[in-house]
Amino acid sequence: MDRLVYTALSGLRGHLSAQAAIANNLANASTVGFKAEKIDFEALTLRGGGSQLETRSPTSEAVKDADRSAGAVISTANPLDVAINGDAWMAVQATDGTEGYTRRGDLQITPSGVLQTGDGFPVIGAGGGPITIPPNDGVTISGDGSILIVPIGESADRAQALDKIKLVSTEGSQTLKGMDNLLKVVGGGTLPEDMNATVQSGALEQSNVNMTTALVDMIENQRSYEVAAKLLSTTQQMDESGAQLMRLPS
């Protein structure tokens, strides 16, 4: 009966992982630029015996990737908000110092002048380092990602180019979404700048999580979990019945 027990146990573990991913999607349904996680299930067929018969098929589960489709874009009229057009991504500095990529465009300027996303990742400029904004009388972001500032005491028509947000394309590169919600190159490295990428200033891309679909997925996953749990109960009953048959009459 151990074969059936471990198969059912692997199914329970897989459904728990799926439930965590679905719950994370629901929790981030209102997070700017969030991409819904997708979990992948796969049957790992084990073979044994002289004839190489299939002995069991436990379940393997993993967060495969994220749904990279664009979310709805809303207008905010905030000059520091940007919605990235097309399939481009914005380069930011992850907590470990490596380069990551996001679609979150609710940019903010820290007291020290660092330009960062709403979740606290410094935005990387065309030069490869975090963008720092000096004291000014106004900041705007143009369509190609260039950052313009109005020097203190100058009029708005005398804005000067400071830096340019590094916008990249994932085409031709293997990337994967991490636990910090940043896209990273598999195996390390950075993506090249996409010179044709553009942004829409004064707008934000919303999360692409579909609440209705996520709720249906959660219900279906819960039903599947109950089936796997029932399988464990059935296995116990079968084991007890087999043990009774093996007992010698007293």
- Which pLDDT tens digit goes with each residue over 157-198? 889 999 999 999 999 899 988 888 899 999 889 999 999 999
In degrees, rounded to 5, the angle at the alpha carbon of residue 66 between the alpha carbons of residues 43 and 105 is: 170
> What is the pLDDT at residue 61?
46
* 3 burial via Cβ count (<10 Å: 0-12, 13-18, 19+): middle
Cβ-Cβ contacts under 8 Å for 187 (sequence gap 6 or more): 174
Give residue 205's identity as a one-letter amino acid code.
E
Higher pLDDT, 65 or 100: 100
Stated pTM of the model: 0.78
Q: Quick one: CA dihedral 118, 119, 122, 124, positive or negative?
A: negative
> What is the pLDDT at residue 224?
83
In degrees, rounded to 5, the angle at the alpha carbon of residue 27 between the alpha carbons of residues 26 and 29 is: 60
> What is the pLDDT at residue 84?
96
Residues 168, 182 contacting (CB under 8 angstroms) = no
pLDDT score of 53 more than 70: no
The share of the chain scoring above pLDDT 70, in percent, equals 83
Cβ atoms < 10 Å from Cβ of 141: 22
Cβ atoms < 10 Å from Cβ of 70: 16
> What is the pLDDT at residue 48?
55
* 147 burial via Cβ count (<10 Å: 0-12, 13-18, 19+): buried
pLDDT digits (tens, 9 = 90+) for 229-243: 777 777 777 777 766
Residues 102, 89 contacting (CB under 8 angstroms) = yes
